[in-house]
Amino acid sequence: MCELFAMSASQPTDVGPYLSRLMPRGGRTGPHADGWGVAYYEGRAARVFKDSLPAANSRYLALLAKSRLKSTAVVAHIRKANPATTAPCAANTHPFEREWNGSSWIFAHNGKLPGLHDVARCPTSRFHPIGGTDSELAFCMLMDAIACEHNAISRLEPGDIVAAITPLVRELRALGEFNFILSNGEHLFVHAHTRLHSLEASRKETRAAYVLLATQPLTREGWRPLQPGAIRVYRSGVATA
């Protein structure tokens, strides 16, 4: 399995302390030693940093955590290859990125979808996998569903996106385990299938409200488990759906 982490904030916020707590789980205190990735948004563009080496031993990730790089939307992932045949490499490392409608879309998945490559509808539009993971294939399928909806609606609101992907999400989670975070920089679309936690907080010095999401709580703060099943939407540190 893998672990997810994300943030949505009202003002650019540093998540370095939380990344520092996530790092050891990538091969030292946890088994997720098959790569790591972090995406920071600058408006509609994502700056994606990732490596197929263990997070726990990564000087690159340690430097990133200490850099105090700030953003209003962050998506991070530490990976445990499952099945092991999807080897650690750049193509198989989350988060994955695609451009659509003038924005970087970022996706990270925790779980497994056995048999997806055998039963999946092959993506019919511009979105195709680069690596061999079921996660990236599922991402391409979600993006296809959104793009197809856009053909009928000139401007997609968050509710339109949720409606477009909900039938597919139901199909995919029936195959196995499908916890994921999808973002276009403005919104986080979050699906807690089995296990995901949230923490709502604020910082007085910047007046920033923010929400953090993680597979497992990273601190002793008041993290709460998300109720499985629904697709939640966060914008500027607030749940909008």
- Measured distance CA(36)–CA(66) in Å, rounded: 16
Within 8 A by CB and 6+ apart from 37, the residues are 48, 49, 50, 51, 76, 77, 79, 93, 94, 95, 108
Q: Which residues form the catalytic set?
A: 2
User: Nearest Cα to 51, choosing from 10, 85, 79?
Assistant: 79
Per the CB < 8 A criterion, the answer to whether 169 and 113 are in contact is no
Cα distances from 235 to residues 104, 147, 153, 158, 185, in angstroms, run 16, 21, 21, 10, 9
